[in-house]
Amino acid sequence: MDGSFLQKFEFYGWAASEKEATIKADKAADVIKSTISRFLPSFSFIHEVNKGKIAAFRGVSETGKGAFYSSGGFMCSGCKSFFAPDSVYQSTEPPVNEAEPEEPLTDIYTPGAHTIPLLCEQLGLDNKDTLKAMLYTIEVPDGGKELLFAMIRGDRNISIKKLSAFVESKFSGASFRRAEPDEIVGSFGEVAGFCGPVGVPGNVNMVADASLKNGKNFVVGGNRPDYHRKGCCWKRDFEPPVADLLLYEESLPCPECGGVLKETELRDLCHIECYYLNSNTQEEPVLSCRDREGLHLWPYRWKGSISLESVLLAVFEKGKIDNLK
Residue whose CB is less far from Zn ion, 44 or 310: 44
Least spacing, CB of residue 92 vs Zn ion, in Å: 11
β-strand pairing of 70-76 with 82-83: antiparallel
**In angstroms, what is the C-alpha Rg of the chain?**
23
Least spacing, CB of residue 87 vs Zn ion, in Å: 13
Least spacing, CB of residue 62 vs Zn ion, in Å: 14
Say which amino acid occupies 33: K
Residues interacting with Zn ion, by CB under 5 A?
76, 78-79, 254, 256-257, 259
Query: CA 120, CA 259: separation in Å to the nearest integer?
Result: 26
CB 314, CB 267: distance < 8 Å:
yes
Residue whose CB is less far from Zn ion, 78 or 95: 78
Least spacing, CB of residue 257 vs Zn ion, in Å: 3
Least spacing, CB of residue 44 vs Zn ion, in Å: 12
Residue whose CB is less far from Zn ion, 52 or 78: 78
122-158 exposure pattern, b = at least 16 Cβ within 10 A, e = fewer: eeebeebbbbbbbbbbbebeeeeebbbbbbbbbbbbb
- 3-class SS string, 56-73: EEEEEEEECCCCCCEEEE
Residue whose CB is less far from Zn ion, 257 or 321: 257
Q: Cite the beta strand spans of 49-171 per DSSP E.
A: 53-63, 70-76, 82-83, 106-109, 131-139, 145-153
Residue whose CB is less far from Zn ion, 16 or 260: 260
